[in-house]
Amino acid sequence: MPLPIVEFRDVAKRFGHLVVLEGVTLSIQRGESIVIIGASGSGKSVMLKHIVGLLKPESGQVWFDGTRIDTLPERQLMLIRQRCGFLFQMGALFDSLTVGENIAFPLVEHTRKNPDEIRQVVAHRLAMVGLPGVEYKMPAELSGGQKKRVALARAIALDPEVILYDEPTTGLDPVRADVINELIIKLQRELHTTSIVVTHDMASAFKIADRIVMLHAGKLIIDGSPQQIKDSTNPIVHHFVVGEADEKELSVLKG
Ligand SMILES: Nc1ncnc2c1ncn2[C@@H]1O[C@H](COP(=O)(O)OP(=O)(O)OP(=O)(O)O)[C@@H](O)[C@H]1O
Ligand SMILES: [Mg+2]
């Protein structure tokens, strides 16, 4: 096996008394497209944040391309973060900056490119996400789907080796959601990145993933191909994939 690009070794994380991760072990190979599924609150965003050192484990280790990162000082973590594009769950564009300035932000911060070179990269990234020429718009002028694509253009500004997507299709209609799915697949192909995608959206998961893992009660309870997930007889996995509430979940509706 080649060196994994991202590795969790027996990671545990809690906030006060709330145990979120409990012995999570996972190796992600370079070039993989892996999807993390799990119920709301199961710790999917918490997992992603460990990959870029925004959160640190209680115990266990997190590795990035052969470097243990959970013990790295902030300055060295910055170098790891520059190798990752992060599409945050809440979009998080700077509302007071134009689209172009939003995408230029990481380039200004972390490269020595001159303004002309930066303009070229911004234009290229916007073309890649299918929004050429919107540099001078303000985020408020864009639809939800367009904002996600601009946030994605910003996430890929520094040519990341790994792109982390936190719920990239949430809040979009099925057609717009599928545009994002296709974009994830296209970026994977064109930039030869590793994609780590957190989603609730099973249609999206099955379309994007080479491999799917499911987080439940602090642990990864399944790790397999999309077909293996579809065929799983584990009741928790099956229940989630089919998306039907059970008696207990429906009981909250009965006053
Ligand atoms: N910084 C924090 N401080 C305290 N609790 C936190 C923090 N971050 C997350 N949590 C808690 O950890 C649990 C897992 O949160 P997380 O955001 O990872 O869920 P999720 O699986 O991404 O859910 P969703 O699908 O709703 O986005 C939640 O109960 C959340 O309230
Ligand atoms: Mg989340």
Nearest CA to ligand 1 atom 13: 41
Answer whether residue 227 is part of any domain.
Answer: yes
Closest ligand by atom to 218 CA: 1
Total Cβ atoms within 10 A of residue 133: 10
Specify the CATH number for the domain of residue 71: 3.40.50.300
Answer whether residue 183 is part of any domain.
Answer: no
Answer whether residue 231 is part of any domain.
Answer: yes
Q: How far is the CA of 47 from the centre of ligand 1 (A)?
A: 9
Pocket perturbation via mutation, ligand 1, pick of 44, 169, 201, 213 by most ligand atoms within 8 A of CB? 44
- CA triple 140-111-122, angle to 5 deg: 35
Closest ligand by atom to 18 CA: 1
Q: Can you list the alpha helix ranges (DSSP code H) found in the chain?
A: 44-51, 74-81, 99-110, 115-128, 144-155, 174-191, 202-208, 226-230, 235-242, 247-250
Of residues 205, 207, 194, the one with CA closest to residue 237:
205
Of residues 7, 47, 37, the one with CA closest to residue 25:
7
- Give tens-digit pLDDT for 64-105: 999 999 999 999 999 999 999 999 877 689 999 999 999 999
Tell me which residues have their CB closer than 6 angstroms to ligand 1: 15, 18, 20, 38, 40-46, 89
Nearest CA to ligand 1 atom 7: 15
Amino acid at 115: P
What does the alpha-carbon distance between residue 38 and residue 23 come to, in Å, rounded to a whole number?
Answer: 16
Q: How far is the CA of 145 from the centre of ligand 2 (A)?
A: 18
What does the alpha-carbon distance between residue 40 and residue 216 come to, in Å, rounded to a whole number?
Answer: 10
Answer whether residue 118 is part of any domain.
Answer: no
Per-residue pLDDT for the chain (255 aa), expressed as one digit of tens each?
789 999 999 999 999 999 999 999 999 999 999 999 999 999 999 999 999 999 999 999 999 999 999 999 999 999 999 999 999 877 689 999 999 999 999 999 999 999 999 999 999 999 988 899 999 999 999 988 889 889 999 999 999 999 999 998 888 888 888 988 998 998 888 888 999 999 988 999 999 999 999 999 999 999 999 999 999 999 999 989 988 766 777 777 776
65-89 exposure pattern, b = at least 16 Cβ within 10 A, e = fewer: beeebbebeeeebeebbbebbbbbb
Answer whether residue 94 is part of any domain.
Answer: no
What is the extent of the structural domain holding 4? Answer: 1-83+193-255
Answer whether residue 247 is part of any domain.
Answer: yes
Q: What is the dihedral of CA 20, 25, 31, 33, to 10 degrees?
A: -50
Please tell me the number of Cα atoms within 13 Å of 42 on its side-chain side: 21
Q: How far is the CA of 89 from the centre of ligand 2 (A)?
A: 6
What's the structural domain count of the chain? Answer: 1
User: In degrees rounded to 5, what are phi and psi of residue 105?
Assistant: -50, -55
Answer whether residue 246 is part of any domain.
Answer: yes
Q: Looking at residue 255, what is its pLDDT?
A: 61
Nearest CA to ligand 1 atom 2: 15
**Which pTM was predicted?**
0.92
Contact 19, 63 (CB under 8 A): no
